[in-house]
Structure 1
Amino acid sequence: MPAIEIIDLSPFVPVGGSRRLTGHLARPQGTGPWPGVVAVHEVFGANDVMLRQVERLAYAGYLAVMPDLFTQGGAWRCLAATLRAARSGRGRAYQDITAACSYLKGRQDCTNSIGVIGFCMGGGFALMTAARGDFAAASANYGPLPRRPDATLVGACPIVASYGGQDRLLPGAAARLATVLDRLGVVHDVCEYPEAGHGFLNDEQAGPALFRPLFRVLGIGPNPEAAAQAWHRIETFFGTHL
C-alpha cells in the first residue's frame, strides 16, 4: 500500500477554519496526474483504520488527503462541535474540508477533478458538501442524512452511498436518501447491505475497547463481504465521475 505522509494544511484554511490543521496524504505510484479525493474521517478521528482507507484510495489511483478535523484541540474538545457541524451545515469543519480540497487543486500532480468520501460522521459531511460546488462526486458511507435533505442536496454532484441493514443508528436511511435523490434528479447509486451494520467498511473494529459490547448491540462492526462489494461500487462510481 502507498505510504502516508503528514502534511500541513494550515496555509489553505479559509477564514473561520482551524488556525492549525494537519492532514494525511497518500499518493498513487507513478507520476500522475491523478484525480483527487478528500477523505473525511469517522467520529473516532484519523485513526489507523481511517488511514488504511486513505491508502486504499491511493492504491485505486486517487491522490487522497484526509484532513484531521480534530487537529485544533484534540478529539474530545472538538467532537461535539464537529458533530453539530455535520448536521447543521455550519462550523469550522467545513473550512477545514475546503482547505484539503484547495490543497489538492494546487498540486501539479492532481487533475483538479476532486471527489469527497466520508465514513460515519464523515459520511454526513460528504452529503452536506455534495452541493457546495467543490466536488465532482461524493461517497457517503453510513452517514447521517441532513436535517433538511431536499434543501441541502438540491444541485448535488453524483452521490454513491452505502448503508447497513443491521445499523441501528441509521434505520431506513438508505431508502430515505434514495427517495430524496430521485426526487431531486441527482445521479446516484444508493445501496443497503442487509447483513451489514454501521462501520462495515472498516477492516477492524474502531473505537475504545470499553465500548465494544455497546457496538455489538448497536450493530457496529466490520463486514468484509459487504465492504468488498461497496468498495467496488465506490471505485466504479468515482471512475465514471472523476
Structure 2
Amino acid sequence: MPDLTYAAASADLGAYLAVPLGEGPWPGVVVIQDALGLGDDIREQADRLAAAGYLALAPDLYSGRGLKCVVATIASSRSGRGPAFEDIEAARRWLQAREDCTGRIGIIGFCMGGGFALLSAPRFAFAAASVNYGEVPSDTSVLAGACPVVASYGRRDRMMPGRAARLERALTEHGVEHDVKEYPDAGHSFLNRINTGPLLGPIAHVAGVGYHHPSAEDAWRRILGFFAEHLAAPAA
C-alpha cells in the first residue's frame, strides 16, 4: 500500500497504512515510530499487525519538518505535552472513521513511540496499548484510567533500567489491566531490526541495543494475544 497523508492537528502528515487480506471490517492499530522515524522497520511492524487482522496506520510524526520537529517530538514523548499527541489522536480518529474499521482502536509504540503509547493510554479512547521499551513518567498518577496495557522491556537495556518494575507497580496501583514483562537476555530495541552497520554495530552491542529474536517473538505472541482479547469486539 503506498504512503498517504492524513489531516492532523499540526499539519497534513504522511503515514503508512497496512491493510489485512480479505474483507473487513477490522480493528485498527496506530503504530508509533521510534526516534529514527517512519522507516522500513516500522512499516514491517505495521505489516505484521495487518497479517494478524488489524488495520494498521503508522503516522510519520516528523513528516520532513526538520531537526527542530524531531527534537520537539522526542521531548514530547517524555513530557506528555505538545502537538504530537493531537497528531496521534487524529490518526486514531482517521482509522475509526473508515468503513473497513470496527471502531475499536489500539496503539503500539517502540522506544520513543512506546512513551507516546503509554501516555496516550489514559488520554484518548484507545481500547488497548502496547508499550515497548518506552519511558515511564516519574509521576505515574498520569496513568490512572488508562486502557489495558501490554508492555515489554529488556533487562540489558541500559537506557531504561527499572522501567518495567516501575510500570508494573503503577498499573497495579491504578487498577489498570496489564501484562508487563522484562526479558533477561534482551536490550533496548529488541523488537526492531535496526541496521546499525559495521561502525555502529559494536557500539550498539555495548550499549545494550539490538534485535533479539527469541524475546521479540515471545513479545509478539503476548502483544497479539492481548490485542485479540481487547480489540476483537466491535465498538459500542
Measured after TM superposition, the shift of residue 84 of structure 1 is: 1.1
Residues 167-217 of structure 1 deviation map (CA, whole Å, 9 limit, x = unaligned) = 000011111100111111100000000000101012x22457654333112
Contact map agreement 1:120 1:141 (CA 8 A) in 2: yes
Instruction: Tell me, in whole angstroms, the C-alpha distance in 2 between the residues paired with 1:77 and 1:133.
Output: 26
| 1:188 alignment partner, one of 178, 196, 211 | 178
After TM superposition, the structure 1 stretch with the greater mean CA deviation from structure 2, 211-220 or 185-194, is 211-220
Secondary structure of 2:28's counterpart equals strand
1:233 matched to 2:222? The reply is: yes
* Equivalences for residues 25-64 of structure 1 within 5 A: 25-64=17-56
Tell me the SS of whatever aligns to 1:5. coil
Task: Look up the match of 2:190.
Answer: 200
1:5, distance to aligned residue in structure 2 (A): 2.8
Which runs of no fewer than 5 residues in structure 1 stay unpaired?
none
Are the counterparts in 1 of residues 89 and 124 from structure 2 also a CA contact under 8 Å?
Answer: no
1:156 aligns with 2:146: yes
The answer (yes or no) to whether the contact 1:88–1:147 under 8 Å persists in 2 is: no
* Worse overlay, 117-126 or 211-220: 211-220
Q: Do the aligned partners of residues 120 and 209 (structure 1) sit closer, same or farther apart at CA in structure 2, a change above 3 Å counting? A: farther
Alignment root-mean-square deviation, CA: 1.4
Query: Given that residues 164 and 197 in structure 1 are in contact (C-alpha distance below 8 angstroms), is that contact kept between their aligned partners in structure 2?
Result: yes
After TM superposition, the structure 1 = structure 2 runs for residues 140-151 of structure 1, keeping only pairs within 5 Å, are 140-149=131-140, 151=141
Pairwise CA distance, 1:52: 0.4
Distance (Å, rounded) in 2 between the aligned partners of 1:99 and 1:210: 39
User: CA offset at residue 163 of structure 1?
Assistant: 0.2
CA deviation after TM superposition for structure 1 residue 49, in Å? 0.9
Residues 115-154 of structure 1: pairs in structure 2 closer than 5 A: 115-149=106-140, 151-154=141-144
Q: CA deviation at 1:89?
A: 1.1
Alignment coverage as a number of residue pairs? 231
The letter for the 2-side match of 1:213 is P
Could you tell me how far apart the structure 1 residues matched to 2:136 and 2:187 are? 16
Counterpart pick for 1:212 among 196, 201, 214: 201
Identity value in percent: 51
Cα distance in 2 for residues equivalent to 1:222 and 1:236: 21
Unaligned runs of 5+ in 2: 232-236
Q: Deviations over 1:7-66 (max 9, x none)?
A: 1112xx2xxx32231110000001110000000000100111111001001001000000
Of 153, 163, 166, the residue aligned with 2:156 is 166
1:106 aligns with 2:104: no
SS at match of 1:222: coil
8 Å Cα contact 2:196-2:204 kept in structure 1: no
The CA distance in 2 between the partners of 1:197 and 1:186, in whole Å, is: 26
Partner of 1:9, secondary structure, is strand
Structure 1 equivalent of residue 63 of structure 2: 71
